[in-house]
Structure 1
Amino acid sequence: MKNRQLLARVAYQYYIQNKTQAEIANNLDLGRSTISRLLSEARRENIVSIQINDLDLLELEVKVKEAFNLRNVIIVTKSEAIAHEAALYLKQIIKPNNRVGVAWGSTLARMVGQLQHPKSTNATFIPLVGGPSAANSKYNVNTIVYDLARKFVGKSAFINATAVQESAALRNCIMNSKDFAEFAYSWEHLDIALVGVGGPLTNKTTSHWRDLLTTDDLVLLKEQHAIGDCCCTFFNEDGKILAPELQKRTIAIPLSMLSRVPISIALASSLSKVPSIKALLSMGIVNTLITDQETAINLLKR
C-alpha cells in the first residue's frame, strides 16, 4: 500500500485543484499510469469518497425504467422543471437532419422557451396532430413546431386542419390529399417524437383540444371508461384504444405508428394523470418518460 499522504496529495490535486493526471505526474515525478493507480487506491482506502447529489431521484429513475421496460427515464423534483429538463434532453439527443414529431400541450410549449443556445441541426419538425380550436390557438402545434425549427436552425411543416373533423369523409379528404402526403411519409420515418399525455375526462385541468369533441363523443368515452389520451387517441386502463368512430374523424399519428419511433418521449405529470400515464407506458407506445418525483412514486405504487 502506498503512503497515505501521497495518496491524499494525488487525490487533492486531481479532485480539488482539477489538474489532469498528466499534470500531476509531472508535478510529482511519477508516471501517468502510476497516478491512475494511486487515484483508484485513494478511493479504496476511503481517502476519497464520492457523493452523488439527487441520489434518490436517480434510483427512482432506475426503478421506473425497469418497471415499464423503458429506454430512458428522467425525473425532476417539481413538475415546473419538466419543460427545462426536456429542453436539455432534446438538445442532447437531436442529430443533424433528424425528423422530429411534436404534439401539443402547455409543457411542450414551455419547453421551447427553455432552449438556451441550441445547436444548428437542419432537422425537420413535424406536427403529430391537427390543431386545436380557435379558442386555444396559443397552444397550436404549428407554433411549437415553428419555434423549435427556428431554435435548431431547421425546417418545419405546417398542418392546416383541426385535430377533430366534423365527419370521417372530411378527415379522409384531408389526409388523402396531395398536400398531406408529406406528413404521411414523415410520420413513418420519425427519429424522435415528443408528446403529452391527457388525463381523465373528469380532470379539472382545462384541455387544449377536447372542446372539439361533440356531446356524443364525450358520452361514448365515458361509457367506455376512457382514462386518458395521447395524440388525440383515447384509451382505457387496460390499454385498449377506444371510440373507433371518433378516430375516423381525427387527424393525428396512429399510436401504433408512434410506438415504432426510435426515441418517443412523453412529458407528463400530476396525480390525476397517473392512471393514464401508467396505461400508456404499459401499452409500449413511448419509450422515454420525463416526469416529476411525486408522479413517478405513484406510478410505482399502482
Structure 2
Amino acid sequence: MKEDKRELLVRISYLYYIKGYTQQQITQELNIYRTTISRFLKEAQQEQIVSIQIVGYDPKLFELELRIKALTTLKKVVIVPNFPTETEKQKDENLSKKAAQYLKSTIKPHSTVGFAWGKNLAGMVGQLRSFKNTNSLFVPLVGGPSRFNAGYHPNSIVYNFAHQLGGQSLFINETAIQPTAYQRTQLYESLAFKKIFRAWEQLDIAFVGIGGSLKSKGSHWRDLLTAKDIAELTERGAVGDCCCTFFDKNGEVLSGQLLNRTVSIPIQMLRKVPTVVGVARSLDKVNSLAAILKMNLLDVLIIDELTAQKLVTLLADR
C-alpha cells in the first residue's frame, strides 16, 4: 500500500474512532465522498490499522447466538458464559439471574406472565436487585408437584414475582398429574379454573423449562408418574417435556392417557403466546432442546455456553 493511502486511512480512523467524528463530518473535513469514508474504514480494519476489541465479554458467544438463530426459528438467543471454576449450583444461579433480567427488561405494564416448571425458573425468584410496579398478572402454566417437592411449586414462583414486580397472581391448587382423566375434567370445568384458562388465553409472556430424557436426574415433578406412565413414555420414545407435556425426538407431542391426566396449558394454546421463553441448561437436555426447537414453540432461548456449544453441533448435523 502506498504511503499516502495508508496515511489517509490512519487519519480517517483517528477522526472516526478517537475523536468521535461522524462519517458526514469526516466528509466535510477531508472533502471525500461519504461512501468512500465507509469503504476506507472497512479497509483500515482489513489492513490492521484499526483493531477493535470487546472488553469484558467474549464475542464468540455472540457468534454462537447468531449461529443457533440461523439454524432455528428463534427470534432471540441468550447465552450465559461458563467459567472453569464454577460449580453446578453457580451455573444454575447465573442462568436464573439472566432469565430474571430478561423478564425485567421485557415486561410491560399490565402484562400477563406465565411460569411453568423448572429448577432454573424457580431460581429466578430473588434475582432482581431492584423492583418495579408493573400491575401485571402472574399465573402458573402447570399444576403443582408432590408434597415432597413443594419448594418448587409454580404457585410460589408466581406469588413471589407478583410481590416483586407489583401485581397479582393466580394459583393452581392441584398436582400436575391427576389420578384419572375424569378428575382432570372436573377440575377444568370448575369455576376457579376458568380464571386460569382466561389468563392463559391472554398471556403476553410465558417462561418454560425443558425437561430431559426419562433417565435424567433432578426433575422435581416426575415422581408423580406411575410405573405404567414411564413404561409407555419409554416405548413411545419420549426425549423430554415442556409444561409437563412429553414429546419425541421429532417434536411430536405424545398424546394419550397421561396427557389427558395432565394439568397444564395445552401446547396449541402456548403457541399463540406472543413470547415464549425457554430456560434450560445441561448436556443431558441437548436432545430434548433440539426436539422442542423442531416444534417452533419457543421465541427466546436462554441457555449456558456449554449447552449451546453441544446444541449447535447437533443442529448443524441434523
Match among 50, 53, 72 for residue 52 of structure 2: 50
TM-score norm. by structure 2 comes to: 0.82
Structure 1 segment 110-121 matched on structure 2, within 5 A: 110-121=123-134
Conserved? CA contact 2:251–2:295, under 8 Å: yes
Is 1:195 equivalent to 2:204 in the alignment? no
**Identity rate, percent:** 44
Q: Is the 8 A contact 1:220 1:243 kept in 2?
A: no
Say whether the 8 Å CA contact 2:13–2:41 is kept in structure 1.
no
For residue 262 of structure 1, what is the aligned residue in structure 2?
A: 274
Deviation string 1:189-247 (CA, Å, 9 cap, x unpaired) is 110000001111111x2211111111111111111111110001011111121141111
Alpha-carbon deviation of 1:269?
1.4
Which residue in 2 is equivalent to 1:97? 110
Structure 2 residue 173 is the aligned partner of structure 1 residue 182: no
1:34 matched to which residue of 2?
A: 25
1:220 to 232, 236, 257: 232
Aligned position for 1:252: 264
2:123 partner SS: helix
Aligned-partner Cα distance in 2 for 1:77–1:174: 43
Q: Secondary structure of 1:183's match?
A: helix
State the Cα RMSD in Å.
2.5
- TM-fit CA distance, 1:109: 1.3
CA contact (8 A) 2:13 2:50 kept: no
Contact 1:227 1:237 in 2 (8 A): yes
1:75 aligns with 2:79: yes
Q: Distance in 1 between matches of 2:257 and 2:306?
A: 36
How high is the TM-score relative to the length of structure 1?
0.87
Kept in 2, the 8 Å contact 1:258–1:286? The answer is: no
Matched letter for residue 58 of structure 1: F
C-alpha displacement at 1:124, in angstroms? 0.7
For residues 188 and 258 of structure 1, the distance between their equivalents in structure 2, rounded to whole angstroms, comes to 9
2:177 to 153, 156, 164: 164
In structure 2, what residue type is equivalent to 1:301?
Answer: T
Partners of 2:67 and 2:23 in 1: CA distance:
39
User: In 1, Cα distance between the equivalents of 2:159 and 2:130?
Assistant: 17
Q: 1:32 to 1:286 in 2, by over 3 A?
A: closer
Question: Are the equivalent residues in 1 in contact too, given 2:16–2:23 (CA < 8 A)?
Answer: no
Quote the offset at 1:293 in angstroms.
Answer: 1.5
List per-residue Cα deviations over 1:7-47 (Å, max 9, x = no partner): 74775465xxxxxx7xxxxxxxxx99637977x78956567
1:281-296 aligned within 5 A: 281-296=293-308
Q: What letter corresponds to residue 76 of structure 2 in structure 1?
A: N
Indicate the residue corresponding to 1:24 in structure 2.
none
| SS of alignment partner, residue 211 of structure 1 | helix
Task: Provide the residue aligned with 1:152 in structure 2.
Answer: 165
User: Per-residue CA shift, 1:81-122, capped at 9, x if unaligned?
Assistant: 211111111111110111101012211111122111132111
Matched to 2:73, the amino acid is N
Q: Structure 1 CA distance, aligned partners of 2:149 and 2:27?
A: 59
Q: Which runs of 5+ in 1 are unaligned?
A: 15-20, 22-30
Task: Show the counterpart of 1:136.
Answer: 149
Per the alignment, residue 222 of structure 2 pairs with: 210
Matched residue SS, 2:257? helix
Could you tell me which residue of structure 2 aligns to residue 28 of structure 1? none
Name the amino acid aligned to 1:82: L
Instruction: Give the deviation of 1:284 after TM superposition.
Output: 1.1
Specify whether residues 13 and 258 from structure 1 end up closer, same or farther in structure 2 by C-alpha distance, changes over 3 A only.
Answer: same
3-state SS, counterpart of residue 301 of structure 2: strand
Q: How far apart are 1:134 and its partner, in Å?
A: 0.4
Query: Which sections of structure 2, spanning at least 5 residues, go unmatched?
Result: 1-6, 30-36, 83-90
- How many residue pairs match? The answer is 286
Could you say if the C-alpha distance between residues 113 and 37 of structure 1 is closer, same or farther in structure 2, counting changes exceeding 3 Å?
A: farther
Match of 1:236 among 240, 243, 248: 248
Is the CA contact (8 Å cut-off) linking 2:141 and 2:264 kept in structure 1? Answer: yes
